[in-house]
């Protein structure tokens, strides 16, 4: 009996240490000429880890970094979604996302943390969907895979996107950003030489703007990203882990807490 209790205490202690080893830190003025950002570090960093870049929508723009915790990848982590990866979540003070500024943040993290540069991913929705498309189109040789939801793009050419395994999703009932914005990007990609061989496009009938935010909380979203690497021969796109739809999002918060995890922020 005593032995069993001792073993249980060891297991509980190990779990406690695992949680405490994770950290979420504010990075304000850390990178000159770039955005302020949150940096999430996983529990174990003994080996090179993937890097996820989360780009928020217009409602979280400003100069209060706590806004960036309201929804998305950082919020999902704080509510219990465990990612064995570094995550950076910059805050856009306003206006379009600037790929060059996002890259400055990315470069700083690469230079200061144990990042697997073959496994860098970007995802975002709304304004962040635009940012995802623009970042991947500007640096297709750096992005292993990307997910852009209910956004669009501002680049003159989208042919570079065809190098990147890319998942675009947009609801046809979106009144904030019309589905035609994603249609334009997809059609431009398909018009390039060779078409769009690495593209998944979920054009979701009847889905509104905010519903796609649920994808940030779904484990399979990140599973799909992590399947891709720049080191993969031919950079193939893997099948989607699910199709973004209202039925797929049912129960998406199961297993997650409605409260932030204490002790994560340092």
Domain boundaries defined on the chain: 22-249
pTM value is 0.91
Q: For the chain, how many residues are written?
A: 266
What is the SS3 assignment for 37?
Answer: strand
pLDDT in tens, the chain (266 residues): 444 444 444 343 343 333 447 899 999 999 999 999 999 999 988 999 999 999 999 999 999 999 999 999 999 999 999 999 999 999 999 999 999 999 999 999 999 999 999 999 999 999 999 999 999 999 999 999 999 999 999 999 999 999 999 999 999 999 999 999 999 999 999 999 999 999 999 999 999 999 999 999 999 999 999 999 999 999 999 999 999 999 999 999 999 998 998 888 87
**Which fold would CATH assign to domain 22-249?**
Rossmann fold (3.40.50)
C-alpha–C-alpha distance, residues 231 and 244, integer Å: 27
Residue 184, both tokens? 């334009």
Distance, in Å, from the CA atom of 172 to the CA atom of 207, rounded to the nearest integer, reads: 6
Ramachandran assignment for 172, one of left (phi > 0), alpha (psi -120 to 50 degrees), beta (any other): alpha
């Amino acid at each position: 009996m005593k032995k069993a209790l001792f073993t249980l205490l060891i297991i509980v202690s190990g779990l406690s240490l695992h949680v405490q080893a994770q950290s979420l830190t504010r990075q304000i003025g850390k990178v000159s000429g770039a955005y302020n950002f949150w940096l999430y570090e996983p529990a174990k960093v003994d080996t090179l880890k993937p890097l996820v870049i989360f780009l928020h929508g217009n409602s979280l723009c400003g100069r209060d970094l706590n806004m960036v915790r309201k929804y998305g990848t950082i919020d999902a982590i704080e509510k219990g979604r465990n990612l064995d990866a570094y995550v950076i979540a910059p805050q856009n003070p306003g206006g379009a996302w600037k790929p060059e500024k996002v890259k400055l943040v990315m470069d700083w993290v690469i230079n200061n943390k144990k990042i697997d540069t073959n496994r860098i991913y970007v995802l975002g929705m709304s304004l962040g969907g635009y940012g995802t498309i623009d970042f991947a189109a500007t640096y297709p040789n750096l992005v292993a895979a990307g997910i852009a939801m209910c956004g669009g793009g501002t680049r003159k050419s989208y042919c570079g996107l065809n190098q990147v395994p890319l998942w675009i999703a947009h609801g046809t009932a979106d009144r904030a950003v019309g589905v035609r914005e994603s249609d334009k990007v997809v059609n431009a990609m398909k018009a390039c030489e060779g078409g769009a061989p690495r593209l998944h496009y979920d054009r979701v009938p009847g889905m509104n703007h905010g519903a796609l935010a649920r994808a940030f909380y779904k484990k399979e979203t990140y599973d799909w990203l992590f399947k891709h690497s720049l080191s993969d021969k031919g950079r193939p796109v893997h099948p989607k882990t699910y199709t973004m739809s209202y039925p797929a999002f049912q129960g998406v918060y199961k297993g997650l807490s409605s409260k932030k995890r204490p002790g994560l922020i340092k």
